[in-house]
Amino acid sequence: MTGERVTATPEAREAIQRLKREVGPIMFYQPGGCFDGSLPICFKLVEFIIGENDIFLGKVDGTPVYIDSRQYEEWKNTQLVLDVAPGESVGFSIAAGDNLHFVTKSNFMKADFVIR
C-alpha cells in the first residue's frame, strides 16, 4: 500500500468505472459508524451537497472521496480502501452492482503517512 489517504481494490475500481458509464459522475462519502456505519455512501456527484465541514480525502480513478470532519479526526491514521462485498446496498447508497455493495476497509497507516 502507498501513503494515499484513499485507494480501492480492482473490484471496486471496476464497479466505479461501470457506474460512471451507467449513472454518470459519482462521489463517495465516508460517514462515521451509524446504522450501516462504516459503509461508504456512493452518491451521484451533484446529489449530496459538500459543505464546510466535509474534508476531501482524495480521488479514486477520478471519483472524489469525502469524509465528515469529525470522522476525519478519528480516522487520521487510517487509510481507506474501497472494496465491494456481496449483498444489497443499504441506505441511500448506489449499489456497486447486482447484489453488490461498497465497503470500506481500514488500514492503520504508519505515522509518516499521516497528512496533517
Partner 1 sequence: METLVEHKSLRTRRIYAMPGQPGSIVSVKAKYENFIGGRWIKPSMGHYMDDLSPVNGRRITKVPRSTMEDVELALDAAHEDKDAWAETSLADRAMVLNRIADAIELNLEMLSVAETYESGKPVRETLNQDIPLAADHFRYFAGATRTLEGSITEIDRDTVSYHFHEPVGVVAQIIPFNFPILLAAWKIAPALAAGNCTIVKPSSSTPWSILKLMELIQDIVPPGVVNVITGPGPEIGRALASNRRVAKVAFTGKTVTGKLIMQYTAENLIPSTTELGGKSPNIFFEDVMSKDDEFREKAIEGLVLYAFNKGEVSTCPSRALIQESVYHEFMDLALDKIRRIKEGNPFDTSTQVGPQASEQQLEKVMAYVDIGKQEGAKLLIGGHRAKVAESIKDGYYFEPTVFEGDNRMRIFQEEIFGPVLSVTTFKDEADAVRIANDSAFGLGAGVWTRDSMRAYRIGRAIKAGRVWINNYHIYPAGPAFSGYRISGIGGENHKMMLDQYTQTKNLLISYNSKPMGLF
Binding residues for partner 1, rule: CB under 8 A, are 29, 31-39, 41, 43, 47-49, 68, 70-71, 74-75, 85-95, 101, 103, 105-106, 108
User: Taking CA 53 as the corner, what is the angle to CA 18 and CA 112, rounded to the nearest 5 degrees?
Assistant: 75
CB of residue 17 to partner 1, shortest distance in Å: 19
Nearer to partner 1, 30 or 60 (CB): 30
Minimum CB separation of residue 90 from partner 1 in Å reads 6
45, 24 contact by CB (below 8 A): yes
Helix extents (H) in the chain = 10-23, 69-75
Q: Which is nearer to partner 1, 46 or 115 (CB)?
A: 46
User: Which strands, in side-by-side order, build the sheet including 100-108?
Assistant: 6-8, 78-86, 100-108
CB closer to partner 1, 48 vs 113? 48
Minimum separation from the CB atom of position 75 to partner 1 (A): 7
- Nearest approach in angstroms of CB 45 to partner 1 is 14
Q: How far is 21 from 10, CA to CA, in rounded Å?
A: 17
